[in-house]
Amino acid sequence: MSVNDVPFRGRLLRLAAADNVAVATVDFPAGAVIPLDDGQITLVTLVTMGHKVAVAPIAVGEKIIKYGCPIGSAIRAIHIGEHVHTHNIKSDYLPTHPRG
């Protein structure tokens, strides 16, 4: 079975209409094609449950919006379908300790 045969509908949770990220409710392999709103996104990398995925392009310095509120800022451009975490965002409120 290919990644695209797995039923991912409803498995990516956008918490508010203004959010530029959505939360994975299951582990997604890289290349997963996920229906979202009126279209679909393709994941660039593995994204595990509870982690964020960009559902819109995010420019350097742009706010990451989750729950309709800013939770941090992009430290590099983030493409649709990319995992959003400490490797590409920083908290605007707490110290961010990047992995590796």
Domain annotation covers residue 98: no
Task: Give yes or no for a contact between 41 and 55, defined as CB atoms under 8 angstroms apart.
Answer: yes
pLDDT in tens, 38-78: 788 999 999 999 999 999 999 999 999 999 999 999 999 99
Q: Could you tell me the sign of the dihedral formed by the alpha carbons of 31, 36, 40, 44, in that order?
A: negative
Domain annotation covers residue 83: yes
Domain annotation covers residue 42: yes
Q: Which residue has the tokens 């959505």?
A: 22
Q: What is the pLDDT of residue 11?
A: 83
Q: What is the pLDDT of residue 7?
A: 58
Domain annotation covers residue 24: yes
Domain annotation covers residue 22: yes
- Report the CATH number that the domain containing residue 36 is assigned in CATH: 2.30.130.110
Q: What is the pLDDT of residue 31?
A: 92
Domain annotation covers residue 75: yes
- Domain count for the chain: 1
Share of the chain above pLDDT 90, in %: 63
Full domain range(s) for residue 76: 3-90
Residue 1 in this model has a pLDDT that exceeds 50: no
Residue 5 in this model has a pLDDT that exceeds 50: no
Structure-block tokens of residue 90: 């920083």
What is the reported pTM?
0.83
Domain annotation covers residue 26: yes
pLDDT in tens, 75-85: 999 999 999 99
**Whole-number Å distance between alpha carbons of 87 and 100:** 9
State how far the alpha carbon of 64 is from the alpha carbons of 7, 8, 29, in Å.
27, 24, 23
Residue 13 in this model has a pLDDT that exceeds 50: yes
Domain annotation covers residue 99: no
